[in-house]
Amino acid sequence: EAGVTQFPSHSVIEKGQTVTLRCDPISGHDNLYWYRRVMGKEIKFLLHFVKESKQDESGMPNNRFLAERTGGTYSTLKVQPAELEDSGVYFCASSQDYSADTQYFGPGTRLTVL
Amino acid sequence: SQKIEQNSEALNIQEGKTATLTCNYTNYSPAYLQWYRQDPGRGPVFLLLIRENEKEKRKERLKVTFDTTLKQSLFHITASQPADSATYLCAALNDYKLSFGAGTTVTVRA
């Protein structure tokens, strides 16, 4: 069974540009999460989808971040315009049960904003 | 505010010894605590979950305890091996949301 996949693995962009990160969850997992780790800090929750619906986006830092999950399958996280403080590693995770006993994480996308 | 603290950034131990990692939480009562392993360039990998009404959980050479009075979880790796070298993350799970500690990097010397 394929795990959670994320694309790209690395992205380097200039401040003010737009970047779109993609996450493909494990097939059949209704729950999809985005987390991120900025330099020197712990991994923090960004948002949670159940199928195509945003269940909780309380961790999204500001309105420069937009997450979508078309058709309840893969998800994208767009940052527009990117700022220096957006640099970090963005992780996607998925789980089968709403109680979220086990979340399976992807390898992450390392974003560098110059 | 809610906080998860892992009190050691790094732990160096000799192969065969037991590594003990500490996770403390403040200002809330998580229903579950989880432990993850993270290797460089990889995402966290789930290891163990312990519920608030459980005192101890084991899986092979791993053992986790949960003390709700002390607001603390201990994670033990017994008979450690160089392959156990990694960063270990404690995370509290409330509802569906994970709150992570900063992690402890364990290095096992052969």
The per-residue pLDDT for range B21-67, each reduced to its tens digit, is 999 998 878 888 999 999 999 999 999 999 888 989 999 999 999 99
Say whether pLDDT at A100 is over 80. no
Tokens of A85: 């403080």
Q: What whole-number distance in Å separates Cα of residue B88 and Cα of residue A106? A: 16
Q: Compute how many other C-beta atoms are within 10 angstroms of the C-beta atom of residue A27.
A: 9
List of chain A residues whose C-beta atoms are within 8 Å of the C-beta of residue B101: 42
Q: Spell out the residues 6+ positions from residue A36 whose beta carbon is closer than 8 angstroms to its own.
A: A43, A44, A46, A88, A89, A90, A91
pLDDT tier for residue A43 given thresholds of 50, 70 and 90:
very high
Residue of A nearest to B5 (CA): A42
CA nearest to B71, candidates B34, B28, B7, B35: B28
SS (H, E, C) B50-70: EECCCCEEEECCEEEEEECCC
The residue among A82, A104, A26 whose CA lies nearest residue B43 is A104
Mean pLDDT across chain A, nearest whole number?
93
pLDDT in tens, B3-22: 899 977 899 999 999 999 99
- Report the C-alpha gap between B52 and A59 in whole angstroms: 25
For B71, the token pair is 């607001």
Contact between chains at A95 and B45 (C-beta distance less than 8 A): no
User: Would you list which residues of chain B are within 8 Å, Cβ to Cβ, of chain A?
Assistant: 4, 32, 36, 41-46, 49, 89, 93, 95-103
Q: What is the pLDDT of residues B94-103, one digit of tens each?
A: 878 899 999 9
Phi, psi for B52 (deg, rounded to 5): -65, -25
CA of B16, closest CA in chain A: separation in Å?
A: 29
Q: Please answer yes or no on whether A95 and B98 come within 8 Å at the CB atom.
A: no
For tokens 């200002």, the residue is B27
Cβ of A95 within 8 Å of Cβ of B100? The answer is: no
The whole-number pLDDT of residue B47 equals 95
